[in-house]
Amino acid sequence: VRIAVLGTGIVARTVGAALVRLGEEVTLGTRDVEATLARTDTDVMGNVPLARWREENPAVRLDTYRRATADADLVVNATAGSSSLAALHAAGAENLAGKVLLDLANPLDHSADGPPTLFVKDTDSLAEQIQRAFPDTRVVKSLNTMSAHLMVAPGALADGGTSVFTSGDDPSAKQVVTELLHRLGWRDVIDLGDLSTARGTEMLLPVWVRLWQALGTGHFNFAVAR
């Protein structure tokens, strides 16, 4: 399967490399390939520039949002939430039409001091904004409620048995994503229902951020006991 993972940050890299390990063909999408490869800074979280990361991950390709998406069978949105609509418009509605879009972005607003706030919530969600902008695309929200390294290694937590959620209007698209989640090692996949249920998982982020601050690590996840 050819998968376009839109984004070049830690999430896109982690998910992209994991999908290559599963035997898929992966292309990361970025605004400007040359500009992205010319970056030399390690970011505040300690992530090395993409060019250096690619030396260790040569199987992961890099292209523009548009070219990465054009021949993809499945698309993953791993861009900053505030830029996701711009990134997807750059990819092109015609290239996204009919395709499953796994959206794991969060609508975080980092513009003020203190913990990020949500720029959409309660009565709408980023996932629904994306679905409205691209009505022919089959949007499924998932994997947005844990750190990148746990998205692809759910068994890495000592407690194990943690949960991941899915939201989406198209049952067959949700099935595609659920199978992918199983291949990544997820066992407790909770189908919350239609895409409006992504309001709930996106609104978990303020809780996630406080837990991260309190625990001093992102190495934790939500587990639904029942």
Ligand X SMILES: NC(=O)c1ccc[n+]([C@@H]2O[C@H](COP(=O)([O-])OP(=O)(O)OC[C@H]3O[C@@H](n4cnc5c(N)ncnc54)[C@H](OP(=O)(O)O)[C@@H]3O)[C@@H](O)[C@H]2O)c1
Cβ atoms of residues 50 and 39 within 8 Å? yes
Q: Is 33 helix (H, G, I), strand (E, B) or coil?
A: helix
Residues 46-64 as b or e (16 or more Cβ within 10 Å = b) = ebbbbeebbeeeeebbbbb
Residue closer to ligand X by CB (options 38, 86) is 86
**Residue of 12, 139, 177, 180 interacting with ligand X (CB under 6 A):** 12
Query: Which tokens is 54 given?
Result: 């690619």
Report the nearest approach of ligand X to the CB of residue 46 (Å): 12
Residue of the chain from 9, 49, 92, 206 that contacts ligand X (CB under 6 A) = 9
In this complex, which beta carbon is closest to ligand X, that of residue 5 or of residue 176? 5
Please select the residue that binds ligand X; options are 69, 147, 167, 201, rule is CB under 6 A: 147
16-31: b (≥16 Cβ within 10 Å) or e: bbbbbeeebbbbbbbe
Radius of gyration of the chain (CA): 16
CB of 145 to ligand X, least distance (A): 7
Residue whose CB is less far from ligand X, 116 or 171? 116
> Smallest distance, Å, CB 88 to ligand X?
9
Q: In the bound complex, what is the minimum distance in angstroms from residue 17's beta carbon to ligand X?
A: 13
CB 105 to ligand X: min, Å: 3
CB of 224 to ligand X, least distance (A): 18
Q: What residues numbered 64-123 form the site for ligand X, per CB under 6 A?
A: 78-81, 83, 86-87, 104-106, 108
Contact, 167 vs 104, CB < 8 A?
Answer: no
Residue with Cβ nearer ligand X (106 or 166): 106
Q: Is 218 helix (H, G, I), strand (E, B) or coil?
A: coil
Instruction: Please identify which residue in 3, 4, 7, 69 interacts with ligand X, judged by CB under 6 A.
Output: 7
Contact 211, 220 (CB under 8 A): yes
Which residues ranging from 155 to 194 are in contact with ligand X (CB under 6 A)? none
**What gap in Å lies between CA 139 and CA 166, rounded to an integer?**
10
Q: Which residues contact 215 (CB under 8 A, 6 or more apart)?
A: none
Q: Which is nearer to ligand X, 36 or 196 (CB)?
A: 36
- For ligand X, the binding residue among 4, 148, 173, 180 (CB under 6 A) is 148
Distance of CA 210 to the CA centre of its chain: 20
Residue whose C-alpha is closest to residue 146's, from 191, 181, 171: 181
Q: Applying CB under 6 A, which residues contact ligand X?
A: 7-12, 30-31, 36, 78-81, 83, 86-87, 104-106, 108, 144, 147-148
